[in-house]
Amino acid sequence: MRIAGASCYIQGMSNFYEAVYKLVRMIPRGRVMTYGRIATILGCPRAARAVGYAMHASGDLEDVPWQRVINSKGRISARTEVERPLLQRMLLESEGVLFDENGACDLGVYLWEPPQPESYRYEPAGKAPFPKSYHRRLL
């Protein structure tokens, strides 16, 4: 399914996506981060959904460990095709991440924090990553 204007919007988001990927590439094996925590570290605390979009768009980037990004409840967000959440869980389990009977991992054990989070702050090149017109459509 294609959304009119989506490619232009994604192209405008490419710098934000690269900031997300830079941080996600640093998450060590056996550790995870949440969409919201990544957004907060980047300086965009209300952009958790945009982090999710970036992770979904990272499919062809072999050096981005997308499986290490989960939701704030310690669970895998299953908003895409059926196979991807299953693959994500298998990949995380192969790295040593354990899930309980409810499908959640213990964030107290597995959540990773970068040593210098301020070094990952997103600095837009000239304009905000989310145009005001986009926010109006969400309301």
Amino acid identity for residue 130 in this structure: F
Domain boundaries, the chain: 6-113
What is 6-113's CATH number, 3.30.300.30, 3.90.870.40, 1.10.10.10, 1.20.58.110? 1.10.10.10
Triad 57, 44, 1: Cα angle to 5°: 25
Amino acid at 94: S
Cα distance between residue 10 and residue 12, in whole Å: 5
The pLDDT value recorded for residue 131 is 57
Per-residue model confidence (pLDDT) at position 21: 96
Contact 15, 124 (CB under 8 A): yes
- How much is the pLDDT for 91? 96
pLDDT at 2: 34
pLDDT in tens, the chain (139 residues): 333 333 333 445 678 999 999 999 999 999 999 999 999 999 999 999 999 999 988 877 899 999 999 999 999 987 666 778 899 999 999 999 999 999 999 999 999 999 999 999 998 765 555 555 544 444 4
Predicted structure pTM score: 0.80
